[in-house]
Amino acid sequence: MLNALFLVGLQILYLVGATGLAIYGLQALILTLLKLREERLLRKSKARSVNTAVGRLYNESLDWPSVTVQLPVYNEVHVVSRLIDACAALEYPSDRLQIQVLDDSTDGTTAIAENRAEFWRSQGTDVQVLHRSDRRGFKAGALKEGLHQATGEFIAVFDADFAPLPDFLKHTLPTFLDSAGQNVGFVQTRWTHLNERYSALTKAQALALDGHFVVEQSARHSVGLPFGFNGSAGVWRRACIEDEAVGGWQDDTLCEDLDLSYRAQLAGWQGVYLDEVESPAELPPQLLAFKRQQFRWAKGSVATLRKLAPSVWRSGWSTVKRTAAYVHLGGYLIHPLLLLLLLVTPLLMLFGSQAYWPLAYLSLVSVGPPALYALAQRRLHPQDWTRRWARLPLLMLLGMGLSLSNSVAAWQALFGKGGAFLRTPKFNVEGSAGTWHGSGYALDLEPLVAVELTLAIYAGTGCYLAAIHGQWWNLPFLALYACGYALVAAVGLYESSMARSARLHLGRRSARPQPPKNLVKY
Please pick, among 104, 210, 259, 275, the residue that the annotation labels catalytic: 104
Q: Are 236 and 189 in contact (CB under 8 A)?
A: no
DSSP for 434-451 reads: ---TTSTTPPPP-THHHH
Q: How does DSSP classify residue 147?
A: H
CA 53 to chain centre: 27
Bridge partners (DSSP) of residue 103 are: 73, 131
**Spatial distance between the Cα atoms of 346 and 353, rounded to a whole number of angstroms:** 10
> What is the number of other CB atoms lying within 10 angstroms of the CB of residue 331?
18
Catalytic residue list contains 167: no
Q: Are 469 and 495 in contact (CB under 8 A)?
A: no
Edge-first strand listing for the sheet containing 234-237: 126-131, 97-103, 67-73, 154-157, 234-237, 184-193, 270-281
DSSP for 236-303 reads: EEHHHHT-TTT-----SSS-HHHHHHHHHHHTT-EEEEEEEEEEEEPPP-SHHHHHHHHHHHHHHHHH
For 39-88, list the strands marked E by DSSP.
Answer: 67-73
Catalytic residue list contains 104: yes
Sign of CA dihedral 361, 27, 312, 38: negative
**Spatial distance between the Cα atoms of 110 and 102, rounded to a whole number of angstroms:** 10
- Whats the size of the chain, residue-wise? 522
Backbone region of residue 225 per phi and psi (left: phi > 0; alpha: psi in -120 to 50; beta: other values)? beta
Q: Are 328 and 220 in contact (CB under 8 A)?
A: yes
Residues 6+ apart with CB under 8 A from 143: 70, 72, 102, 157, 249, 256
**Spatial distance between the Cα atoms of 303 and 432, rounded to a whole number of angstroms:** 36
Sign of CA dihedral 135, 136, 137, 140: negative
Helix (H, G, I), strand (E, B) or coil at 156: strand
Bridge partners (DSSP) of residue 99 are: 69, 127
Q: Are 74 and 423 in contact (CB under 8 A)?
A: yes
Bridge partners (DSSP) of residue 101 are: 71, 129
AA identity, residue 165:
L
Measured CA to CA in angstroms, residue 336 lies from 15, 332, 339, 404 at distances of 14, 8, 5, 7
**Spatial distance between the Cα atoms of 104 and 490, rounded to a whole number of angstroms:** 34
Q: How does DSSP classify residue 211?
A: I
Please pick, among 159, 257, 259, 275, the residue that the annotation labels catalytic: 257
Residues classed as catalytic: 104, 257
